[in-house]
Amino acid sequence: MPTEVQEETFTLEELLAGLKEMHRLILWNDDFNTFDHVIHCMMKYLDYSESQAEKIAWKVHNEGKCAVLEGSFTEMEIYRKILQQEGLTVSVE
């Protein structure tokens, strides 16, 4: 008995969306960056409001880390490099 094979078709958009596994950019607490510097970087590079950036700074201070952005690995790597050049401790998960 022959096996029937059903062919599936996908758009390019659907294929690319399937390849984009979500990653998170993590900001870590450290002993050398000031609250003002962290807030400045969150506002300048990640487009957070001052209030949002302050909440992130406090969360990092109190909990040791905070996820500050989510997206593709490539996007997160770009932001990781930018923030590391500013002296922040960041990683991609």
Name the phi and psi angles at 11, rounded to 5.
Answer: -80, 165
Per-position b or e across 6-34, b if 16+ CB within 10 A of its CB:
eeeeeeeeeeeeeeeeebebbbebeeebe
Instruction: Tell me the three state secondary structure of residue 14.
Output: helix
Q: Closest Cα to residue 28, out of 78, 80, 77, 74?
A: 80
Query: For the chain, which residues score pLDDT lower than 70?
Result: 1-3, 5-6, 8, 14-20
- The rounded distance, in Å, linking the Cα atoms of 19 and 33 is 35
Could you tell me the residue ranges of all domains in the chain? 20-92
Q: Please indicate, yes or no, whether the overall pTM of this predicted structure exceeds 0.95.
A: no
Query: What end-to-end distance do the CA atoms of the chain give, in Å?
Result: 48
* Per-residue pLDDT at 12: 78
Give domain 20-92's CATH architecture. 2-Layer Sandwich (3.30)
